[in-house]
């Protein structure tokens, strides 16, 4: 039976490369070897499998085109056994089990480590060196974990959860409802805080989460597969306005696209939330962005029958709409659209689908809303 093959370009002509192994098999072998030479040859083969020209694949791993051509000849004639004669020899690992345990204890003492620091430690204390591409695989086999350091928010209070609990409790306090919920002690009393006479709020309570995001159609984070054509192009469509989302637990969720985040435009978003949730009191959880907390916004929200619950400072993780945005950006990343209007239409549909799910807010409901579920519609 004839094996499948790929065709590569070699200085103006084409040359066949036999597929002795699948890409998955190459990936597995690459993850198992700790030999730099073997790793480079496997990388070279993968580049050819992906359609790279022989010269480009050779340049990627730092060998001459003559050497690369010789590798192709040996590979076509005998597969892996001829390309890497010692590959199946099962050479012992550079560090035995005792040394690996010693390395783990050494790493535990000074954690966390950067890859470069671990490489230096291996050189200095164990006299060995791993290929930079293989080192993460080796560390994974040792059972190490990795994370990207994130900036600690210095203003976030240690009792953020308790603060949020108190604000939710206050929002449901029937005695507190006698006063304008959004009014603060330092607000002057020379203005009346009245509900709009056309707004009714006696039909129950709706609760939801508000936030601004900036999804973009060119932010592609997914690999896309094709049968025939490996090159996929998309128009450079840039959305220069934010998306304002309201993720409701028991009402209508709303996605709008204000031109900016000025207080008047934020109030316009609140008006859309009110339009979609008539006749009910609305509790809206949001962050402390300047146009959210200013008196103008708080008073307009009061007029609309929307009571604001502000999150503790530096606590975006306490807003369940954040994972909604994350899922929306992930699921919309493959979208190929003709323009901004089409993109807005498609993410509006996607936002509606995602916000039908309560799973994004399940822990929030359990932690902060459990005692008040009977007060919701």
Tell whether the model's pLDDT for residue 246 goes beyond 90: yes
CA distance 351 to 257: 13
Check residue 152 and give its pLDDT: 60
Q: Which two tokens stand for residue 21?
A: 């192994």
Q: Which residue has the higher pLDDT, 11 or 313?
A: 313
Contact present, 377 and 283 (Cβ < 8 Å): no
3-state secondary structure of 207: strand
Residue 151 Cα distances to 154, 156, 308, 313, 316, angstroms: 9, 12, 28, 15, 13
Distance CA 303, CA 104 (A): 62
Tell me what the mean pLDDT of segment 261-270 comes to. Answer: 96
pLDDT band at 289 (very low <50, low <70, confident <90, very high): very high
Question: Could you confirm whether domain 160-375 is CATH 3.30.420.10?
Answer: yes
- On the question of pLDDT at 187 being above 50, the answer is yes
Q: C-alpha angle with apex 228: 226 to 234, nearest 5 degrees?
A: 55
| Sheet architecture: strand order including 254-256 | 254-256, 243-248, 205-213, 281-286, 306-310
State residue 156's pLDDT score: 85
The number of beta carbons lying within 10 Å of the beta carbon of residue 360 is 20
Residue 54: what are its φ and ψ, rounded to 5°?
-60, -40
Q: Please check the confidence at residue 281 and state whether its pLDDT lies above 90.
A: yes
How do strand 5-10 and strand 13-18 relate by DSSP bridges? antiparallel
Q: For 75-128, how does the pLDDT look when each residue is reduced to its tens digit (9 = 90+)?
A: 888 777 777 755 444 455 678 888 888 888 888 888 888 888 888 888 888 888
Residue 154: phi and psi, rounded to 5, are -65, -25
Average pLDDT over residues 38-42: 84
204 conformational bin, left if phi > 0, alpha if psi -120 to 50, beta if neither: left
Please give the pLDDT value at position 71: 84
Which residue has tokens 């790279």?
Answer: 52
Domain with CATH 3.30.420.10 in the chain: 160-375
Instruction: Quick: pLDDT tens for 146-185.
Output: 777 666 666 788 899 999 999 999 999 877 667 889 998 8
Residue 63 φ then ψ, to 5°:
-125, 160
Q: Cβ(305)–Cβ(195) under 8 Å?
A: yes
Quick one: pLDDT band at residue 231, thresholds 50, 70, 90?
Answer: low
């Amino acid at each position: 039976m004839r094996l499948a093959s790929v065709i590569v370009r070699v200085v103006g002509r084409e040359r066949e490369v036999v597929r002795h192994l699948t890409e998955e098999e190459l990936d597995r072998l690459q993850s198992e070897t700790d030999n730099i030479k073997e790793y480079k040859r496997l990388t070279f083969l993968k580049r050819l499998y992906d359609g790279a020209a022989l010269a480009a694949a050779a340049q990627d791993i730092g060998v001459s085109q003559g050497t690369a051509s010789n590798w192709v000849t040996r590979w076509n004639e005998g597969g892996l056994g001829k390309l890497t004669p010692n590959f199946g020899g099962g050479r012992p690992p550079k560090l035995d089990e005792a040394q690996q345990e010693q390395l783990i204890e050494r790493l535990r003492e000074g954690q966390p480590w950067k890859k470069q620091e671990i490489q230096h430690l291996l050189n200095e204390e164990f006299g060995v060196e791993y290929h930079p591409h293989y080192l993460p695989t080796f560390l994974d086999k040792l059972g190490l974990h990795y994370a990207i350091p994130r900036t600690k928010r210095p203003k976030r209070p240690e009792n953020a959860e308790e603060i949020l609990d108190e604000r939710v409790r206050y929002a449901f306090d029937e005695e507190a409802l006698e006063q304008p919920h959004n009014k603060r002690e330092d607000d002057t009393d020379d203005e009346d805080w009245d509900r709009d006479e056309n707004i009714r709020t006696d039909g129950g309570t709706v609760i939801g989460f508000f936030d601004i995001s900036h999804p973009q159609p060119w932010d592609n984070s997914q690999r896309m597969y094709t049968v025939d054509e490996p090159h996929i192009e998309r128009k450079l469509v840039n959305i220069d306005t934010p998306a304002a989302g309201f993720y409701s637990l028991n009402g209508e969720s709303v996605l709008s696209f204000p031109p900016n985040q000025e207080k008047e435009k934020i109030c316009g978003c609140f008006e859309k939330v009110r339009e979609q949730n008539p006749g009910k009191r609305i509790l809206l959880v949001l962050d402390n962005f300047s146009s959210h907390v200013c008196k103008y916004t708080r008073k307009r929200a009061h007029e609309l029958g929307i009571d604001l619950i502000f999150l503790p400072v530096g606590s975006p993780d306490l807003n369940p709409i954040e994972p909604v945005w994350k899922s929306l950006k992930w699921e919309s990343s493959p979208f190929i659209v003709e323009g901004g209007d089409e993109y807005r239409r498609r993410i509006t549909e996607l936002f509606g689908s995602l916000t039908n799910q309560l799973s994004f807010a399940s822990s929030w409901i359990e932690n902060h809303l459990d005692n008040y579920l009977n007060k919701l519609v």
